[in-house]
Amino acid sequence: MRGQSLNKILATEKNLSVSRTIYIVKQLLQALAYAHENQIIHRDIKPSNIMICEGDVAKILDFGLAKLLNLNQNPAFTNPGIRVGSPYYMSPEQINAEPVDARSDIFSLGVVFYEMLCGTRPFKADADKNLAQLFYEVLHSSSPKLSAQRSGLPSELDAVVAKMLATEAVARFQNAGEVLVAL
């Protein structure tokens, strides 16, 4: 597949334009909606698992940690109580090793969305130095508003990203389609 990971793009461009970000995020939401409709939860949405191809066509990669819902699974891959994912992008449910559903991927995509617009992740603790502090921030503090990090962003984006990053899953968008409608 020709293209670059979103991780590499963000390393050079820092924050992307609003229109480009929304264009890419909408594609990612459509991909997640399709996966979720087919009972697949990715569980590792992060910039290095997103490929941006020619024309800003976005692809989600690496379903190695995916969870198949409502299927008999090999318990070696999905033991309850096991924490899986990439720390900076893990949802509160993943941090607490609780069952996950589509809302977990929505949270992770919310972190990516924030990073695309602001050039930084919403939770600032360094996972390499203090993983417990990062997890505490995710579980107990609200992410800073987008507008506090980057001026000139539409206020509606604050509300959308804040809802994607809600600590409680019931307060988040319940599925990718709801986020698409909001955008």
By annotation, the residues acting in catalysis are: 44
Give every CB contact of residue 103 below 8 A, 6+ residues apart in sequence.
91, 93, 169, 172, 173, 174, 175
Cα–Cα distance measured from residue 29 to residue 113, given in angstroms and rounded to the nearest whole number:
11
Could you give the 3-state DSSP secondary structure of residue 144? coil
Cβ count within 10 A of residue 26: 15
Contacts of 44 (CB under 8 A, 6+ apart): 62, 64, 65, 66, 84, 85, 86, 89, 108
Residue in the block written with tokens 């972190």: 111
